[in-house]
Structure 1
């Protein structure tokens, strides 16, 4: 009897142990799919992110800090990040897009790039996350989400505001040589002449990564001459062509800057960092760059240059069809989310997405002397005076499309290469024809 009872208890204990193991297995699976933290329930999940926050400017430093803080706060999520220069990132993304091997998260651009990636079935929308956080969704400035919206679905949010064309100028050099800050194109050409006569580089340019001249300067010059409506029609190949007289005139106007030596020698061999160094060293009176350059200026320019730096827009061009109170630009880069993400990996990735692009990330961006497309009031008493100057300037101007945000990627490459050729003496009509033929093929496909 005693022996039978002992065997019975052993059987019951063994059965209970097996049941506990089964329950633990089931519970573990459930926690991995949607538990706390990164949604991995103790099982570490790995996510990848590609970005262009590689420099020592305040914006890049702030974004890298958010990623580092995220790692500390989420030990069950491994974040594998890779930083690339902007031109390298764009090239790499299009390479992996062709192979359908996108990283989990990646910095991407609105309008043309977003549309191309959606067409390639590479992205997933973030409407569910935005609708679950209505304060976040409703916090963006009007039309900020348009560039990331395709067929009614939202695929990202802007992480900054990126007007791409300002003239940063060293007022000490302007005063030393009695040069007026240009408000007209003729005054800009006169300033170039005076600085050249005195051995000062008029405008620093680093166009080795060939997007610089197009994005920071030509897009605005062209809009001054052709007007925005003409450009948007040419993009769609609907009643306007890049062989039209107004566009050829824009090319000729920009080419003249090369002819009068507005830039230093070897400008197609220097990169954007070297361009800014010429300005930091006091060797150049002006540098034309996007609003993003201010974070670099504030962090890295020597006091004698920073304290004398002011900001204006590209001057008006006589008889142009465009509004002179504008600058080219976009609402800012966002984060793309790979179509392949699901389950715990998607939950972890969206948690990092929110840390970088949610309200706290937007504030960190603004605090880094970088403009945002989000409704946050700037505390001018705490901001750098030069950033306050930029912030106030932007309130009074309108942003028009930068060329590389609207044109197809193949056309953008032709434009960028064409501008390098143009500044070295290429024929404007031939360059216009190449751009027209490429964009017509893009639209036809």
Structure 2
């Protein structure tokens, strides 16, 4: 499941709308993870456009300027990469630079001593850290130490709504949970599904819990879970959040048959832009899909978006967000000193250059660097991109998607239990008990 999610969350942006001919690929590869006999460092990266083209152009530019610190890059499809990188790391044959998603997997690497602690390097190079969005470092930090550099783009989870249906209802987008529950009745009475949900995919349902746990109890609730504290899933705020979800299900908040709808087919997006559903909680990457497939839905100004509603009495900051803070690159502890130095030079001078930033924005993505408001404003999709950027930049806490933050074992148990929770086949207390059993796994 994690493999499928990462693919969609990383690459389903506005890429389908923008030609990528400008990013000409050159032949690349290496005879092995440590094949840097000519100097420099190795990296494995993910195939798939537009990111592959942008990454290759960045590496080519860096190599032209640094003949003694060249980066040798090899591409793999997402699923193949995750299998191969785990095997290589376990065998002590990882590439110099290890690409990942931070969170739970990075924690396992750090605790096993397989990646370098970069904290002191960031302290020695404050300009590198200072130019990146502060909220992207959480998923790179383990026990107060930084083990990866955030890279690429950010995709928070966004509350979308159909402006046309809201106009027909004479309604405003929900600012509070009570507003949302009231709108559930409003749209059901109109014969329109209040909320679209690709529930068969399970991770789309997870987004609701991520926000509610935060809105009700603040980031401390999931932090305790992430740290494996006993009975953390039984926190009263967590029980309240799961109860609220079941209240929404019982009120027919989600479209009928949501458990048979898949996110991978974009069927949930289609329900929003064909006026069959009024609202949808989903990743920033779905904007591009709706623009591409929605027959003018986005261009005609029918798509609206807001941050997730607040919860009365909740202690979480309403400015907090959840989703994918960034991609992440670490340095293998098994690499030679010369390879590590080349990797650090690449981190400092090669990543998120002005050219790379412009390329990401051109494909409709939001790079994770500060002070790009003017660049975003020049995009055809400036309103949406600026919203994503400000949401991320101003978030006191950016919670990484739970199935990436947790260990693979705990993540699969989470998705299974979320499915049962939304089906009303287990109670909030049973959900908590089942998940408490996974703490520390």
User: Which TM-score tier does this pair reach, normalised by the shorter chain?
Assistant: 0.7 to 0.9
The reply to whether residue 241 of structure 1 matches residue 232 of structure 2 is yes
2:307 to 313, 316, 323: 313
- Report 1:96-135 matches (<5 A): 102=94, 105-125=97-117, 135=127
Q: Tell whether the 8 Å contact from 2:230 to 2:436 is kept in structure 1 after alignment.
A: no
Shift of 1:281: 4.0
CA RMSD of superposed structures (Å): 3.9
2: distance between equivalents of 1:145 and 1:290? Answer: 20
Structure 2 residue runs of 5 or longer lacking an equivalent are 1-34, 65-69
Shift of 1:286: 1.9
Paired residue for 1:8? none
Shift of 1:188: 1.2
Q: 1:438 to 1:319 in 2, by over 3 A?
A: same
Structure 1 residue runs of 5 or longer lacking an equivalent are 1-37, 55-59
2: distance between equivalents of 1:46 and 1:160? Answer: 19
Q: Tell whether the 8 Å contact from 2:118 to 2:148 is kept in structure 1 after alignment.
A: yes
What TM-score, normalized to structure 2?
0.73
Q: Tell whether the 8 Å contact from 2:159 to 2:306 is kept in structure 1 after alignment.
A: yes
- Report 1:293-308 matches (<5 A): 293-297=286-290, 301-306=294-299, 307-308=301-302
- Report 1:95-244 matches (<5 A): 102=94, 105-125=97-117, 135-142=127-134, 144-150=136-142, 154-160=146-152, 162=154, 164-214=156-206, 216-236=207-227, 238=229, 241-244=232-235
2: distance between equivalents of 1:77 and 1:235? Answer: 34
SS of structure 1 residue aligned to 2:113: coil
Paired residue for 1:23? none
Tell which deviates more after alignment, 232-241 or 194-203: 232-241
- Report 1:263-412 matches (<5 A): 263-264=254-255, 265-267=257-259, 269-274=261-266, 275-297=268-290, 301-306=294-299, 307-329=301-323, 331-342=325-336, 355-357=350-352, 360-379=355-374, 380-383=376-379, 384=381, 385-394=383-392, 397-402=395-400, 403-404=402-403, 406-412=405-411
Q: 1:316 to 1:89 in 2, by over 3 A?
A: farther
The reply to whether residue 83 of structure 1 matches residue 73 of structure 2 is no
Larger radius of gyration: 1
SS of structure 2 residue aligned to 1:168: strand
Paired residue for 2:414? 415
Shift of 1:167: 0.5
How many positions carry a matched residue from both structures? 392
SS of structure 1 residue aligned to 2:329: strand
Q: Tell whether the 8 Å contact from 2:119 to 2:145 is kept in structure 1 after alignment.
A: yes
Q: Tell whether the 8 Å contact from 2:45 to 2:73 is kept in structure 1 after alignment.
A: no
